[in-house]
Chains A and B, each alone.
Chain A
Amino acid sequence: MTPFSNLAAAGKRCLPCLPVALLITLLLAACVAQPTVPTRSEPSQQTQPPALPPTTAPAPATTLPPLQPAPPPSHPLPSAESFPKTLAAAGAGPAVLALAKRAQTFRSADRHQDALGQYQRALRIEPKNAFVWQAIAETHLALHNVEQAESAARKSNSLARGNPWLELGNWRVIAAALGVYGNSPAAQAARTRADEISTVLAASGANVSGGAAAALPASSSAVP
């Protein structure tokens, strides 16, 4: 989901809010000043696809095989800070937090298999928790299970619902996982995608160096 689509979705559900939403979007766009990315109008009403830079045709994360250029630079975020950066901030229950803590202890001790087991227990309790999926991706990466790392990171992206912090971390895992086979176009695209999100986050004033976004594979984490 593009960061924009939250706004668009809000607009669809509340037609009178739409002009307001559009104005806010425009203002934000102006602030960040990204002239190459045109502001999109209400998606459900447009009669033709938005004009996009020719080299970056939209490639949804879901297409198979997932080895094409990543989607274009993100639009400015309505408010990146409104998205939770950590598992705790995302409202995970105490059981999942306790498991994540145990997993973190295992990870610190280089016991990644054991950490993975804890995350999988957490997943049985909160199966759609994108932070847990991200942690699984990072742990697989530490274990050099690159295919599983990539898949879990994509799964986390599917469940991230536009959370740029999660997406940033996931693209970094994907880039690292694909990078194992050398600097393929797919790895490069994933890295570019991560850099773009990072740039947009920085431009919107968010502190990119903290939270999940800072996470370079395996070392960092979205869990406390």
Chain B
Amino acid sequence: MIRIKSPLLRWLLIGLAISFSVGLLGLSLWLVRLDQDVRARYAGVRWVLPAQVYASPLELYPGARITVTELRRELERLGYRASDELTGPGTFALAGSELRIDTRAFAFWDGVQPEMRLAIKSDASGLSAIRAMGSDAAIDLLRLDPMLIGSIYPSHSGEDRVLVKLSEVPPLLPATLIRVEDRAFADHFGISPKGILRAAVSNLFSGRGRKQGGSTLTQQLIKNLFLSNEQSYGRKINEALMAILLERHVSKDDILEAYLNEVWLGQDGSRAIHGFGLASQFYFNKPLNELRPAEIALLVGIAKGPTVYNPRKSPERVKNRRDLVLQLMEDGGLIRDDEREAEALMPLGVLNSVTGGVERYPAFIDLVRRQIKGLYREEDLGSEGLRIFTTLDPRAQERLEARIIADLPDLEKNRQLKPGSLQAAGVVTSVEGGEVLAMVGDRNVRYPGFNRALDSRRPIGSLAKPFVYLAALADPSRYNLYSSIADEPIDLKMPNGSHWAPKNYDHKLHGNVPLHVALAKSYNLPTVRIGLDIGVDRVHDLIEAAGLQGPPRLPSMFLGAIDASPLDVAQIYSTLAASGYLTPLLAIREVMTKEGQPLSRYSFQLKQTLPEGPVYLTTWAMQKVIEFGTGRWAVSVLPAGQKFAGKTGTTDDARDSWFAGFGSDRVAVVWVGRDDNKPVGLDGAAGALRIWGRLMRDLDARGIDLTPPAGVEEAQIDPVSGLLADAGCAAQVTVPFLSGALPKDYAPCANAGQSSPLEWLKDIFR
């Protein structure tokens, strides 16, 4: 035993021993706490899983009205790759007249549709035959996987991700990640002394500038999950200790899977792209398991720092990085030499535009957010990974966008308006089922700002008129489509003493006009005359019954002093289009859990709120708007031989230009105006109608079914008198009337029946 003579030294040593013991005790206690902490925090890791929003899937069936070109376009939109032959899910090939598709499996709400290899034939009218390849079995119906159009992520963190399982990712991905980031991952215990040493030596010789990190994947995960970005020794030590502790509790595979889902791989405005699942969609618009080695190399490469390695901003730098990763793949025996060479020749393949983000269809996603708000808690939407299936039809959406992008500059040019001064919004819905198929809320269709389709409530002008005429036509004892209405000045004394003296748009008077002509030509004075006769309340009630609450109970309502958004207008016109059945417009069809379990389905709700016969007569008059009225320009673009119904809308001094109308399957509403509410010099016909007409053509909308419903009968009418015509009349038109309300008298031109064979026959059986 060594004797220490100096008492000072002895006390020093005792002190040292005590403080070492205390320190050791403290360290042990701290480690125990840290261990508990790591375990608790890791167990509590709940991935922020934003709700994923999908468009409606394209249904393919013999007879579907879609051309091969459109189908190819759809496949490309979904990220399917064209090749000479099918090479796995997500590929397609043109073989002579046949289009071959290897579809992706997808879990729909009503079951999983497996991967299918199809051969599709088409003819002039659409798809003609679908069969499974390698068999003669005809396929009646299938769905393509729906397009991911956005996610509802929490606004505070902006974290967005698509969760993946390690067992489902291509094995090349984790293997490459380990090769590049942490070669000793399988063997170390959380930290890698060799790695730290190598990094230290390397950093010593490289001097300032690019430093190598010695962090293992485990350390990186700890840092990403629990620690701040601060660079300090304290944090480094903490990170290392926590990494060692985590490895004691969690398997290597779990750590790897967590890393794959956690790592930050890019930024899209305020949205942070986390995990490889979402990054694959974000950069390549396809699922992870369809990535080729070069694409995997790119994603692994940019994990080093997505700001520096941004493939959209610095493609050269990213290509170098990717090729380096490819080289590491080859060195590690993950790919062959010739594979590396071939892959290195591939372009980056990164999409220019962001496809998966809310930035793509901001107006529609906005609608989905609002409709879902009342159904789920905000925190669940941002974190539970719900899968929301919507009604958006990407084909209709693309056409609506294309029209607004192309036509607004034309309108400005034709009217010598300042380029960029006009704004526009549009909505397309289905007639039956009330589904919102497309929505644009800004002429810059990707701009996620003010959504005019929902929030721009402007006076609807003459769009209100059909409801005045509907109120009249529902009273067959007083009105029919040929009732003569006086187009004469009106001067109304209002309760507050002021006078209201509306004028026609053309400031002319047209004498007595048939009721349907007054609507077709959008004359104001006959409309007010009818409205006053029928009563403000009746018209008010019909507009409410059609689905717009709270129009003011004032005579100015007849001429559209009603503020409404384009979506509101789509609602009330949908009720007309659906023969008087109101279906509240829906943007959501189904919601599923992240595991693919159906949670809720939203069936449309249907209620007859307007009388069918009068709606049919009103629609008949609205067809005249397009045949010879204010909407006749549309005849030049709509398919010949098909009838569409619609109405122009113009407000005072032409501040708002509206057109709303429908065929048998589509309702479309277009608004054009200025945000500062200044006159635009465009009436409904010169502005919105141009977009609407071409839009309906592009949508391949079908014309109205002209068969009268129950309670409506047609009669031959003399167009001059509006009375019954017979062989004696040179001109005759077929006009619908409510049953039992046909004109009783014959027109002056008619032979008045005495000698007609009909009368003779009637007499016999009387």
Contact = CB atoms under 8 A, between A and B. Distances in A.
Interface stretch (B450-458, B567-575, B756-764): B756-764
Contact of B601 (A113, A124, A157): A113
Contact of A158 (B62, B140, B579, B724): B579
A152 B758 contact: no
B31 interface: no
A151 B607 contact: yes
B633 interface: no
B606 A152 contact: yes
Contact of A95 (B62, B708, B711, B734): B62
Interface string B708-732: 1111011110000000100000000
B62 A62 contact: no
A58 to B, nearest CB: 7
Interface string A63-96: 1101000000000000000000000000001110
B606 A47 contact: no
Contacts of B63: 93-95
Interface string A143-157: 000011001101101
A9 interface: yes
Interface in A1-48: 1-2, 5, 8-9, 12, 18-19, 22, 26, 39, 41-48
Contact of B742 (A22, A43, A114): A43
A42 to B, nearest CB: 6
B744 A47 contact: yes
Contact of B705 (A48, A97, A128): A128
B765 A62 contact: no
Contacts of B613: 60, 62
15 contacts: A19-B761, A41-B762, A46-B742, A60-B613, A60-B711, A95-B141, A98-B140, A120-B433, A120-B604, A124-B430, A127-B431, A127-B665, A151-B581, A157-B710, A162-B710
Contacts of B487: none
Nearest to A152: B606
The 8 closest A-B pairs by CB, nearest first: A62-B612, A95-B61, A60-B711, A127-B432, A98-B140, A44-B715, A1-B710, A95-B141
A118 interface: yes
B19 interface: no
Contacts of B714: 9, 12, 44
Given A2-B710, A93-B62, 7 more contacts: A1-B708, A1-B711, A12-B715, A44-B742, A49-B740, A64-B545, A158-B581
A121 interface: yes
Contacts of B431: 127
A55 B33 CA distance: 88
Interface of B: 59, 61-64, 109-110, 138, 140-141, 430-433, 435, 545, 579-581, 590, 601, 603-613, 664-665, 705, 707-711, 713-716, 724, 734, 739-740, 742, 744, 753, 757-758, 761-762, 765
Q: Which of A39, A114, A116, A151 gathers most chain B CB within 10 Å?
A: A151
Contacts of B610: 64
A94 B62 contact: yes
A58 B761 contact: no
Contact of A41 (B61, B665, B765): B765
Nearest to A102: B110
Given A2-B710, A94-B61, A151-B581, A44 B605 contact: no
A185 B606 CA distance: 23
Given A44-B713, A93-B63, A97-B140, A60 B707 contact: no
Interface in A170-214: none
A99 interface: yes
A93 B126 CA distance: 14
A161 interface: yes
Given A26-B765, A93-B61, A151-B607, A98 B141 contact: yes
A117 interface: yes
Nearest to A1: B710
A116 B603 contact: yes
Given A93-B62, A97-B140, A118 B110 contact: yes
A103 B432 CA distance: 19
Contacts, number: 143
A97 B109 CA distance: 20
A39 B766 CA distance: 10
B126 to A, nearest CB: 11
B269 to A, nearest CB: 34
A97 to B, nearest CB: 7
Nearest to A50: B740
B62 A42 contact: no
A216 interface: no
B744 A155 contact: no
Contacts of B757: 19
Nearest to B581: A155
A218 interface: no
A113 B599 CA distance: 12
B132 to A, nearest CB: 14
A99 B111 CA distance: 13
Nearest to A48: B744
B743 to A, nearest CB: 10
B234 to A, nearest CB: 57
A177 B432 CA distance: 22
Q: Which of A26, A113, A152, A158 gathers most chain B CB within 10 Å?
A: A158
Contacts of A94: 61-63, 138, 140-141
Given A39-B765, A117-B601, A1 B709 contact: yes
B606 A42 contact: no
A62 B110 contact: no
A117 B602 CA distance: 9
Nearest to B615: A62
B172 to A, nearest CB: 38
Contacts of B665: 127
A48 B766 CA distance: 13
A147 B608 contact: no
B634 to A, nearest CB: 22
A127 B704 CA distance: 13
B710 A158 contact: yes
Nearest to B609: A64
Given A45-B758, A60-B613, A154 B710 contact: no
A127 B433 contact: yes
Contacts of B713: 5, 8, 43-44
A60 B612 contact: yes
A46 B580 CA distance: 29
A95 B708 CA distance: 28
B612 A127 contact: no
A124 B59 contact: yes
Nearest to A47: B744
B110 A117 contact: yes
B742 A128 contact: no
Contacts of A120: 433, 603-604
A61 B742 CA distance: 19
A5 B59 CA distance: 37
A173 to B, nearest CB: 13
B340 to A, nearest CB: 47
Given A97-B140, A158-B579, A62 B711 contact: yes
Interface string A99-122: 100000000000001101110110
Contacts of B601: 113, 116-117
Contacts of B753: 45
A95 B742 contact: no
A173 B205 CA distance: 86
A22 B761 contact: yes
Nearest to A157: B710
A9 B613 CA distance: 16
B432 A45 contact: no
B761 to A, nearest CB: 6
Nearest to A39: B765
A155 B610 CA distance: 12
A127 B761 contact: no
Nearest to B612: A62
A22 to B, nearest CB: 6
Nearest to A8: B713
A155 B615 CA distance: 14
